[in-house]
Amino acid sequence: MAFLKVFVRKAIGGLVMIFVVASFTFFLIRLMPGNPVTTKLNALLATGTPYPIALSKVSVMYGFVPNQPVWQQYLTYLGELAHFNLGESISYTGVSVTHIILSAAPWTIIMVLTGVIVSFVLGVLAGVIAAVWRNSWIGQSSTFLATFLHGIPQFMLALVLAYVFTTVWRVFPFGAPYNAAIQPGWTPAFIGSLAKHAVLPVAAYAISGYGGWALTMRSSVTSVLGDEFILAAELRGLTRGMRLRYIARNAFLPLFTTLTLSLGFMFGGSVFIESIFDYPGLGNLLTTSIGAEDYPLMQGAFLLITTAVIVANLLADLLYTAIDPRIRRA
Amino acid sequence: MATSPANVQSFYMVKRPNALAVAWKVIVKKPSRVIGLILIAIFVLMAAIGPMLYPPVLPINPLAIYAAPSFAHPLGTDFQGTDVLAEIITGARFVLLGAFFAALFTVLIGTSVGLAAGYFRKWRDSVLMRITDLFLTVPSFPLLIVLSTIWRFTSPLALGLVLGITGWAGLARAVRSQTFSLRERGFIEAARGIGLSDWHILTREIFPNIAPYIVMNLLIATTGAIYSEIGLFFLGIVPFSTNNWGVMLNMAFTQSGAMYTKSGLLYLLSPLACIMLVTFGVVLFLDAVDELLNPRLKGV
Amino acid sequence: MKSAPLRVPLSDSEIEVSIRGLSVSYQTSTGLYDAIHDLSLAIHRGSITAIIGESGSGKSTLAMAMLNSVTFPGKIRTGAIDYADVGDITGLNAESLRRFRGEHAAMVFQASQDTLNPLKRVGAQLLDMARSHGLRDRKAILREGSLLAERMSLPASRVMAAYQHELSGGMRQRVSMIFALALKPRVVLLDEPTTALDVLSQSHVLQIVRAIHEERHLTTLLITHDMGVVAELSDRVVVMYAGRIMEDAPSRDLLRAPRHPYAKALIRAIPRLTGPLDRAQALPGAPLELRQIPVVGCVFRDRCTLRQSICDEVTPTLREVAPDHRTACHLEVEA
Q: Is the pLDDT of residue C105 over 90?
A: yes
Does C68 lie at the interface with A, CB-CB under 8 angstroms?
A: no
- pLDDT, tens digit (0-9, with 9 covering 90-100), for A229-251: 999 999 999 999 999 899 988 99
Mean of pLDDT values over A57-75: 74
Q: Are residues A138 and A246 in the same domain?
A: yes
Alpha-carbon distance of A324 to B12, in angstroms, equals 40
d(CA C14, CA C10): 6
Please give the tally of structural domains in chain A.
2
Nearest to B33 by CA among B214, B291, B268, B299: B291
Name which of B127, B138, B250, B278 to mutate to probe chain A: the one with the most chain A Cβ atoms within 10 A of its Cβ.
B138
Q: Helix, strand or coil for residue A34?
A: coil
C110 and C102 Cβ atoms separated by less than 8 Å = no
Q: Inform me whether the pLDDT recorded for B5 exceeds 70.
A: no
The domain B29-54+82-297: what is its CATH number? 1.10.3720.10
Find the mean pLDDT for residues A58-64: 71
pLDDT tens profile C23-52: 999 988 888 888 999 999 999 999 999 999
A33 touches chain B (CB under 8 A): yes
Residue A3 within a domain: no
The phi, psi pair for B238, rounded to 5°, reads -90, 135
Chain A: give the shortest CA distance to residue C204, in Å: 23
Is the distance from CB of A228 to CB of C118 less than 8 angstroms?
A: no
Q: What's the pLDDT at C312?
A: 87
- Give A324 or A255, the one with higher predicted confidence: A255
Is residue B121 very low, low, confident or very high in pLDDT (cuts 50, 70, 90)? confident
Do C75 and C24 meet the contact criterion of CB atoms below 8 Å apart?
Answer: yes
In a domain, A92, yes or no: no
Q: Looking at the structure, tell me whether residues A145 and A36 fall in a common domain.
A: no
Q: Are residues A142 and A272 in the same domain?
A: yes
Of all residues in chain A, the percent with pLDDT exceeding 70 is 94
What pLDDT, on a 0 to 100 scale, did the predictor assign at position B17? 57
Cβ of residue A282 closer than 8 Å to a chain B Cβ? no
- Alpha-carbon distances, residue A251 vs A128, A263, C118, C160 (angstroms): 9, 20, 11, 24
- Residue C216 in contact with partner chain A when CB distance is under 8 A: no
Instruction: Tell me the three state secondary structure of residue C43.
Output: strand
Q: In chain C, what residues touch A238 (CB-CB under 8 Å)?
A: 98, 128-129, 132
**Which residue of chain B has the CA closest to A276?**
B253
**Do A260 and A173 lie in a common domain?**
yes
Contact A287 B235 (CB under 8 A): yes
* Shared-domain flag, residues A122 and A19: no
Are A193 and A315 part of one and the same domain?
A: yes
User: A69 and A149: one domain?
Assistant: no
Nearest-angstrom CA–CA distance, B233 and B237: 6
Residue A226 near chain C (CB below 8 Å): no
Nearest CB among C109, C128, C180 relative to A238 is that of: C128
Task: Confirm or reject contact between C83 and chain A (CB < 8 A).
Answer: no
The single-letter DSSP state of residue C225 is S
Distance of alpha carbon C205 from alpha carbon C156, whole angstroms: 17
DSSP H helices in chain C: 59-66, 94-103, 122-132, 139-151, 156-160, 169-181, 199-215, 227-233, 251-256, 261-268, 309-313
**Distinct helix (H) and strand (E) counts, chain B:** 13, 0
Task: For residue A300, tell me if it sits in a domain.
Answer: yes
Distance CA A289, CA A90 (A): 9
Q: How many Cβ atoms from other residues are within 10 Å of residue C217's Cβ?
A: 9
User: Do residue A262 and residue A178 come from a single domain?
Assistant: yes
**Predicted local distance difference test score (pLDDT) of residue B3:** 42
The string of pLDDT tens digits covering residues A166-212 is 777 777 777 777 776 777 777 777 777 777 888 888 898 899 889 88
Which is it for the CA torsion C165, C168, C173, C177, positive or negative?
Answer: negative
Structure confidence by residue, pLDDT tens digits, A151-178: 888 888 888 888 888 777 777 777 777 7
The pLDDT score that the predictor gives to residue C124 is 93
Predicted confidence (pLDDT) at residue B2 exceeds the cutoff of 50: no
Give CA–CA dist A146/A208, Å, rounded: 10
Which domain covers residue A194, as residue numbers? 98-329
The pLDDT tens digits of the residues spanning B20-38 come to 777 888 888 888 888 989 9
In this structure, the answer to whether residues A45 and A128 fall within a common structural domain is no
Can chain C be said to touch chain B, i.e. do they have 3 or more Cβ pairs within 8 angstroms? no
Q: C117 or A292, which is more confident?
A: C117
Q: Read off the CATH number of the domain in which A213 is found.
A: 1.10.3720.10
- Smallest Cβ–Cβ distance between C107 and the set A235, A242, A250 belongs to A235
Contact flag for A and B (3+ C-beta pairs < 8 Å): yes
Dihedral sign for Cα atoms in the order B155, B158, B160, B166: negative
What percent of chain B has pLDDT above 70?
89
The pLDDT assigned to A269 comes to 64
Q: What is the pLDDT of residues B75-104, one digit of tens each?
A: 777 777 777 788 888 888 888 888 999 999
Q: Are residues A142 and A239 in the same domain?
A: yes
pLDDT in tens, A84-102: 777 777 777 778 888 888 8
Contact (Cβ atoms closer than 8 angstroms) between residue B126 and residue A286: no
Question: Do C290 and C33 form a contact (C-beta atoms < 8 A)?
Answer: yes
Residue A200 and residue A245 in one domain: yes
Across A289-298, B75-84, B94-103, C69-78, least confident range: B75-84
What was the pLDDT predicted at C43? 92
Enumerate long-range contacts of A56-61, CB under 8 Å, 24 or more apart.
A60/A87, A60/A88, A61/A87, A61/A88, A61/A89, A61/A90, A61/A296
- Partner-chain contact B262 A272, CB within 8 Å: no
In chain B, where the domains are located: 29-54+82-297
Chain A closest-CA separation from residue C103 CA (Å)? 8
Check whether residue A283 and residue A150 sit in a common domain: yes
Instruction: Please name the member of A153, A159, A267 whose beta carbon is closest to the beta carbon of B227.
Output: A153
What residue in A sits closest to C125 (Cα-Cα)?
A: A233
CB B3 within 8 A of CB B190: yes
Prediction pTM value = 0.78
Q: From CA B84, how far away is CA B68, in angstroms rounded?
A: 11
